[in-house]
Amino acid sequence: MTKNKYSEEQEKIARYAKALSHPVRIQILQILSQQSCCYSGDIVDDLPIARSTLSQHLTELREAGLIQGEFNPPKIKYCIRTEAWNEANQLFDLFFKNKNGETATKNSCSTKASKSK
Amino acid sequence: MTKNKYSEEQEKIARYAKALSHPVRIQILQILSQQSCCYSGDIVDDLPIARSTLSQHLTELREAGLIQGEFNPPKIKYCIRTEAWNEANQLFDLFFKNKNGETATKNSCSTKASKSK
DNA sequence: AAAATATTTCGTAATATTGCGAAATACTTT
DNA sequence: AAAGTATTTCGCAATATTACGAAATATTTT
């Protein structure tokens, strides 16, 4: 294992965020999350991308843990993976919640800050 | 303006998510959000990257709207930009909230699905 | 005006992402 | 077994990201 530069939490948030960082993946997840599950072939009709490109995006979402595919020959039924979905939701929640109220208001700055060495 | 493939909301979520898609940017935002504002030079000491690289990440966060820099010669004080911070928070909230409960549970699939044409 | 301090921009390199069509794979139906 | 349907993998190209050090920029202090 390589050197751990960042915390597990930071890596996790970044990984989920990366999965959400393309509009087509947002759309895919919205489709899946709103109308239970879907078949890949049905999704592609609503998207402005080729089938092979969709496949790549689905793979990314699967590797991020956010969706799962159930083989239902000859189709594959994709669904939201609730476990990861909830974890991501919670991570983002906490991330945004952890903020003191006094930012961006002219003054309010701690001129100190560590500066080790 | 080019063709609008995705909704404004989808683009917005993806843009914010992209800003959050690197662990070092998560860490930067955590530092800024937890202890009001900071000077760039102070941040870099806690991060495993070069100053010039930090500058790039700060630019990305600024362009995403999540932070703002106040010039306080010869330093620049960076703070969270609350407006965007709250918007992002709300967008992610809604995004994750919009989900019916019956996913990823073996059955529960709508075999139909549009398939126009 | 020269020196010191803080940050950004530039040049460069390595790697990752996004996209497509063609071909490969896998399973079902004829 | 051949044809049909659904998806993935492959090969390729264009662009974006991440990273660094050196040089440029801007402001204050000496």
Enumerate the residues of chain B whose CB falls inside 8 A of the CB of residue A10. 23, 26-27, 30
As a whole number, mean pLDDT of residues B14-40 equals 92
Query: Does any strand C atom come closer than 7 Å to the Cβ of B40?
Result: yes
**In terms of Cα–Cα distance, which of B8, B89, B23 is closest to B57?**
B23
Residue with tokens 């530092």: B31
A3, closest residue in chain B (CA to CA)? B48
CB B57 within 8 A of CB A80: no
Please state, in angstroms and rounded to a whole number, the distance separating the CA atoms of residues B8 and B78.
28
The half-sphere exposure of A16 on its side-chain side, counting CA atoms within 13 A, is 23
> What's the pLDDT tens digit per position in A8-52?
999 999 999 999 999 999 999 999 998 777 777 789 988 999 999
Residue with tokens 């800003």: B19
Residue with tokens 């590797």: A63
- Tell whether the model's pLDDT for residue B104 goes beyond 60: no
As a whole number, mean pLDDT of residues B8-24 equals 98
Extended beta strands in chain B, E state: 38-39, 67-72, 75-80
Please state, in angstroms and rounded to a whole number, the distance separating the CA atoms of residues A65 and A80.
9
Q: What percent of chain B has pLDDT over 90?
A: 62
Please state, in angstroms and rounded to a whole number, the distance separating the CA atoms of residues B97 and B93.
6
Chain B closest CA to A95's CA: distance in Å? Answer: 8
Q: State phi, psi for A112 to the nearest 5 degrees.
A: -70, -95
- Tell whether the model's pLDDT for residue B109 goes beyond 80: no
Would you state the pLDDT for residue A47? Answer: 93
Query: Does any strand C atom come closer than 7 Å to the Cβ of A20?
Result: no
CA of B70 vs C1' of D3, distance in Å?
Answer: 68
Enumerate the residues of chain B whose CB falls inside 8 A of the CB of residue A110. 35-38
Q: What percent of chain B has pLDDT over 70?
A: 83
Tokens of A1: 């294992």
Angle at alpha carbon of residue A21, lines to B109 and A2, rounded to 5°: 105
Ranges of H-type helices in A1-117: 8-19, 23-34, 40-44, 51-63, 82-97
Dihedral sign for Cα B16, B22, B23, B28, please: negative
Would you state the pLDDT for residue A100? Answer: 79
Would you state the pLDDT for residue B57? Answer: 97
As a whole number, mean pLDDT of residues B45-61 equals 95
Would you state the pLDDT for residue B102? Answer: 60
A54 vs B40: which has the higher pLDDT: A54
Say yes or no for a CB contact (<8 Å) between A96 and B89. Answer: yes
The rounded Cα B57 to chain-centroid distance in angstroms is 12
- Tell whether the model's pLDDT for residue B68 goes beyond 80: yes
- Tell whether the model's pLDDT for residue A108 goes beyond 60: no
- Tell whether the model's pLDDT for residue B67 goes beyond 70: yes
Please state, in angstroms and rounded to a whole number, the distance separating the CA atoms of residues B117 and B106.
29
Element (H, E) at A3: none
B24 vs A75: which has the higher pLDDT: B24
Mutate to test the interface with A, among B24, B39, B92 (most CBs of A within 10 A): B92
Enumerate the residues of chain B whose CB falls inside 8 A of the CB of residue A4. none
As a whole number, mean pLDDT of residues A71-92 equals 92
Would you state the pLDDT for residue B40? Answer: 80
Burial environment of residue B6 by CB neighbours within 10 A (0 to 12, 13 to 18, 19 or more): middle
